[in-house]
Structure 1
């Protein structure tokens, strides 16, 4: 898995790419929480749930169906998130779904159960450039540093370039569409 910090990259990139004020800070917070939430399944290790079980790490919480849960919550709480219904639903769903998609790009683990409960198949992307993150205290090691560098290269940098590119092709706020005099 990418580190918990990198799962926040997608919501942050979407927020940075949007018009100022278009995504409220509350909605951004909900998106970040939704992007990180699937990794709460690491509790499966403490509960001695076998790895490769549907409810272990990268199991059901990394599914398309699970991504619908925080999105449905955002839909119900859209006013508190200072967002419209569709915006809250779409933003939080995209953020939640980004988690298993990023995990599928990592170099280790068993893959993600994206289609649970319809299939227990563990999936990886055909291209897996992101180093898998070590757990807990091992994160603060040489391997953890290699993971951070990998995440910077394969997640943060491409997202930053995409945001910059998007911002450059957008017309300035309030522009009338006329050529300058």
Structure 2
């Protein structure tokens, strides 16, 4: 898996790109959280869930269906709660879906693991992309330390951080002014 830092950075960047106005920052944070949430499946290791099972790591929680369900549930919740500065439902759904599905995309670009079950539960195959430059992050906080952490973070700085920065700068230079944009 990519680290939580890389996933959150991509989710927040998507938030900034799709909802550029500064008052939308809480939605950027929600997108960052959606990009990290699929890794909640690692708790299954504590309960003996096999890595390759439907409920295992990079299984159902990393699927396109899970992204659809999470984005739809959160947009419905937002409509019920009616928070300030709520963006249009379609735009918010797209952001939360893309942020959640971005998790599997990054994981499919890592150097380790069993692949990502994008089509779960309908099809149990696990996939990697042909281009896999991101160093796989060790699972667990204790294992993510020292040289391993530096190796992963260096890789993510190049393959996640720089593209996110370029997208952000591109929006600043070529996009609408965030001061005047509500959606």
The structure, 1 or 2, with the larger RCO (C-alpha pairs under 8 Å, 6+ apart) is: 2
C-alpha distance in structure 2 between counterparts of 1:142 and 1:121, whole Å: 32
How far has the Cα of 1:137 moved from its partner? Answer: 1.0
The Cα offsets for residues 15-51 of structure 1, whole Å up to 9 and x where unpaired, read as 3335323x62332222122111100000111010112
Larger Rg: 1
Alpha-carbon contact 2:111-2:136 (below 8 Å) kept:
yes
CA RMSD, aligned part only? 1.9
Structure 2 unaligned spans of 5+ = none
- Structure 1 residues 111 and 157, CA gap change in structure 2 (3 angstroms): same
Counterpart in 1 of 2:55? 55
C-alpha distance in structure 1 between counterparts of 2:164 and 2:118, whole Å: 23
Counterpart in 1 of 2:76? 76
Counterpart in 1 of 2:123? 119
Structure 1 unaligned spans of 5+ = 176-181
My pick for the range that moved more, 54-63 or 27-36, is 27-36
- What is the correspondence of 1:1-181 to structure 2 with a 5 Å cutoff? 1-17=1-17, 18-21=19-22, 24-78=24-78, 79-80=82-83, 82-135=86-139, 136-170=141-175, 172=177
Counterpart in 2 of 1:179? none
How far has the Cα of 1:163 moved from its partner? Answer: 1.7
How far has the Cα of 1:162 moved from its partner? Answer: 2.0
C-alpha distance in structure 2 between counterparts of 1:113 and 1:173, whole Å: 37
Alpha-carbon contact 1:30-1:74 (below 8 Å) kept:
no
- Structure 1 residues 38 and 171, CA gap change in structure 2 (3 angstroms): closer
Counterpart in 2 of 1:178? none
My pick for the range that moved more, 164-173 or 128-137, is 164-173
